[in-house]
Amino acid sequence: MDRIHRIFRPQYLILFLLFTFSCNTSKYSTLQNTRKFQEEHPKFSSKFESQVKDIYKEKELFGDFIFAVVDENGLAYSFAINREILNGKKSSLDNNSPIYIASSTKAFTGTLLKILDQKKILDINESLYHYLPQLNYNDNIDTKKITVRNLLNHTHGTFSTSMTWKTAFLGYNGQNEELINDLNTDFLFDPSGKFRYSNVGSIIAGMVVENVTGETWKSKMKDYIFKPLKMTNTSTQVSHYNFKAIRPSLTVSKERGIIEKGFYKEDITMHAAGGIISTINDLSKWLSANIREDNILLNKSSWTELHTPTTSQDKEYFTYNRTGYSLGWDIAEYQKQKILTRFGNLAGISFHMSFMPEKKIGIIAFSNDNRAYIFPHLMANYAYNLINALPTDSIFNSEKPNFDKSFEHENEMSYPKDSQLLTESSLNHKILGTYQNTANWPSISIDRKDNYYIFKWGILNGKIYKKKEGSYFSNLGVLIRDFKIKNDTLLTGSLIYKKVEH
């Protein structure tokens, strides 16, 4: 008994009770919010879930669909479905399942840079020359005229194929110096100052964070966003998760079902333009903070800059007429309502995040059947229209043909067949080996596995299929890559590789 009293000192007991009360209050708050939403929209769940199930059955979908409605108090409604759930079987899919949010990361990166700006750690109106002088584009671009703001709103005008491919798909040595060298030696430039969407600006902004603070974009994202919002299951590192638990990309065809299944990211390819894995529960905290615009992350004027256009654009995506871009959000209109959207895609993964600031309501949606990449957007619209008491079914019927068309296009695509597989032979053995590129692209290796061959390019790999003599292709999950080999030279696109002698 004396030992127990020594352990549970009064001050520790008070802290323990406060912690327990806080946890219970948090859980109760979510439960209270979902009940409130149900009371205010009593027909929502039945109509919404019935529509999702109908589409799932009609299209014979594979993979996962997970959905959430978020308001200023947090998670208000969620729903998950896949073939297991539809058939009454147990599934690991729920609100704590890790999902990749792809380019929705850009909204987080813009927020991080605005936080650092508000804290006067950096100034988003200061130049790239000031914060990253080693990036000089071989003195062909005046980086004094490119600001951090330009990086975040896609008006910087620069692009680099090698840097983009390395960070998104292939990997690199992990050092900013390699990427800066790519930008300095392999770049395109549009001096017009017009909106040109790409990953480049956000990734360079991440380098600015590291140059200014001495810590990586990944570290600062955790310090200034994930921790304050208590997003405990969110990370910029694939290695922080059980890899098998991350919901994968699915490549599917009408003819053959699932062609490829996998998650094609590693820590090295998780970057400031597309490098966050999270959960519905955590993302509802993020989206709710944006809806509330409270002071957990930023003050009111900073939120205003994050949620209003800093440049113009004129683009249509599905039903959204995009007229502007802030520091990380597309500004659009849907059914005469202002809507901020940030979507993301990788192979079969399609991620939707949006909110209507005046209605104080937002949507998170995820699917991973490549044929159904519009599905999250279609159902987000259906939910908004239900909530806003619009003629939901007639609007849905006018929008669904667009989904049907895109679905059929993907469904009819042809993919490599086993009959095309390059199989083991003494002649084919000649292509085995490692190939290197003089322009510092990741090496390519060709290895034998069982009775076939594997093409490995950076962190990606896939089986090799034969087109004709000396001409091949490989399905790398996120892309299909053609290549040719003649003697000791491998050509893929415009890249030239030479076999390395061991």
Q: How confident is the model at residue 501 (pLDDT cuts 50, 70, 90)?
A: confident
Domains of the chain: 418-499 (2.40.128.600)
Element (H, E) at 112: helix 105-118
CB 348 within 8 A of CB 100: no
| Identity of residue 153 | N
The residues pairing with 363 across neighbouring beta strands, listed in sequence order, are 69, 354
**In the prediction, which pLDDT does 502 show?**
64
Hey, what are 245's tokens? 């638990």
| Identity of residue 472 | Y
CB 217 within 8 A of CB 232: no
Residue 429 CA, distance from chain mean position: 39
Helix (H, G, I), strand (E, B) or coil at 147: strand
Per residue in 339-357, pLDDT (tens digit) is 999 999 999 999 999 999 9
Per residue in 216-228, pLDDT (tens digit) is 999 999 999 999 9
Per residue in 106-124, pLDDT (tens digit) is 999 999 999 999 999 999 9
Counting other chains too, the contacts that 334-341 makes at CB distance below 8 Å and 24 or more residues apart are 334/381, 334/384, 335/384, 335/385, 335/388, 335/390, 335/395, 337/384, 337/388, 339/384, 340/290, 340/307
List the one residue out of 163, 174, 373 whose CA is nearest residue 266: 174
| Identity of residue 435 | Y
Sequential DSSP letters for 278-303: E-HHHHHHHHHHHHHT-TTT--HHHH
Hey, what are 366's tokens? 């995820």
CB 251 within 8 A of CB 194: no
Helix (H, G, I), strand (E, B) or coil at 16: helix
Whether residue 155 is predicted with pLDDT greater than 60 in this model: the reply is yes
Listed in order, strand segments (DSSP E) in 400-443 are 433-436
Hey, what are 218's tokens? 């990944």
Whether residue 9 is predicted with pLDDT greater than 50 in this model: the reply is no
Per residue in 267-279, pLDDT (tens digit) is 999 999 999 999 9
Phi, psi (degrees; rounded to nearest 5) at 419: -65, -20
List the one residue out of 390, 388, 443, 407 whose CA is nearest residue 60: 407
Per residue in 13-71, pLDDT (tens digit) is 434 333 343 343 345 588 999 999 999 999 999 999 999 999 999 999 999 999 999 99
CB 437 within 8 A of CB 456: no
**In the prediction, which pLDDT does 15 show?**
40
Segment 393-420 mean pLDDT: 95
Hey, what are 94's tokens? 């729920």
| Identity of residue 441 | W
Per residue in 206-215, pLDDT (tens digit) is 999 999 999 9
Residue 147 CA, distance from chain mean position: 25
Query: What is the pairing mode between strands 480-486 and 471-475?
Result: antiparallel
Q: For residues 182, 183, 185 and 187, what is the CA-based torsion angle, rounded to 10 degrees?
A: 120
Hey, what are 263's tokens? 């998650």
Return all residues near 82 (Cβ < 8 A) that are at least 6 apart: 63, 64, 65, 91, 93
Segment 182-211 mean pLDDT: 97
